[in-house]
Amino acid sequence: NSASNAAADGKSSQGASPAEAAYPKMEIKLSHVAADNTPKGQAALKFKEIVESKSGGNIKVKVFPSGQLYGDNDEIEALQANNVQIIAPSAAKLSGFDKSFEIFDLPFMFKDEESLRRFEDGEGGKKLLSKLESKGIEGLSFWPNGFKHITNKKVAIKSPDDLKGLKIRTHGGLIINEVYEKLGAASTKIAFNEVYQALQLGTIDGQENSLVNIDTQKYEEVQNNLTLTNHARSEYVVVANKKWWDSLDAKTQSLLDEAMKEATEVGRDLVQKLELESLEKIKKNGKMKVTELTDQEREAFKQAVQPVFDKWAAEMDPEVINLAKEASK
Ligand code: LMR
């Protein structure tokens, strides 16, 4: 609401004196854990570029990638303390606030990019973001990471049985961990920026992530197998400190909203292109054996984890679930 008022204000104040039109001087910190050359990294840099140029340099955005400022274990607390103004964690990392944030981890919930966009741009996305308000958090947007796939160092996974006995790292949340337990694997939550080392040390056998993260984190150096499972989605929620956000004047909020929209488009335009590039690179390097699944083989995974889907879908906001199902039709 305030954003649309701001847009109207912006128009009606055209021709106002330059002093009146100037944006307040400020610095915004945006912290995330992925690399720069990922959809999230590029979206964050686009946000910075637009905000800085459109504010005439008055608003500076400092982007901290790769967990340089905060990692999974402290970024949400840092956001609530306003030590950082914007973060973009995987949705499941917000599930402490509301179970529905794990919707992207419901196995095989979203069928493609278009389904995700329909959900996020519609009432489902809005409803999900609104759940953060009472926690001092303003939901700004969803950014894509990609569908998740499994790497490990022991076995070329072809069927659900192949996961038995493996120890797999996840980004946390009850649903994705239960998915692995259902398949007879052990699952453990480890902060993203510590995963490479855990794989190297053998604390875990494998992990699941987007192709772009698998590639940019160089997991191929410490893993032997990649199976293209597409079993769940890694999707980010871009969130701001609400007190800080509410303290901004309408014109500034409107600029940030606009920049966020454009940045989101950049991430969306890039995600499939970068996924493809990462897959080609992994295949070319030949360090991991890439296993693809036929529809029938993927169906076996789907069947095996259906009870996990059913159990947790029933625990989520029914409206959010129904809208997600509708978006994926
Ligand atoms: C993960 O922890 O696997 C992801 O959330 C990392 C990321 O891309 O933010």
**pLDDT tens for each residue of 93-149:** 999 999 999 999 999 999 999 999 999 999 999 999 999 999 999 999 999 999 999
- Which of 90, 188, 211 should be mutated for ligand 1, with most atoms under 8 A from CB? 90
d(CA 329, CA 324): 9
| Phi, psi of 151, rounded to the nearest 5 degrees | -115, 155
In this structure, the residue with its CA closest to atom 3 of ligand 1 is 171
Ligand 1 centre to CA of 40 (Å) is 10
Q: What is the pLDDT of residue 19?
A: 47
**How many angstroms separate the alpha carbon of residue 262 from the centre of ligand 1?**
22
Q: Which atom of ligand 1 lies nearest, measured to the CA of 40?
A: 8
Closest ligand 1 atom to residue 208 Cα is: 3
For residue 5, the model assigns a pLDDT of 42
pLDDT of residue 314: 96
pLDDT at residue 8, as a whole number: 40
State which amino acid sits at residue 52. Answer: E
Task: pLDDT band for 150, please (50, 70, 90 cuts).
Answer: very high
- The pTM of the full predicted model, rounded to 2 decimals, is 0.93
Nearest alpha-carbon partner for 86 in 232, 211, 263: 263
Kindly give the distance from the C-alpha atom of residue 32 to the centroid of ligand 1, in angstroms, as a whole number: 9
- What is the strand order of the sheet 233-241 is part of? 59-64, 26-31, 86-87, 233-241, 137-147
Return mean pLDDT, the chain. Answer: 94
Q: Which of 3-12, 223-232, 243-252, 274-283 is predicted least confidently?
A: 3-12
User: Quick one: pLDDT band at residue 20, thresholds 50, 70, 90?
Assistant: low
Q: ipTM higher than 0.95?
A: yes
Which residues are near ligand 1 (CB < 6 Å)? Answer: 33-34, 90, 145, 171, 192, 209, 213, 234
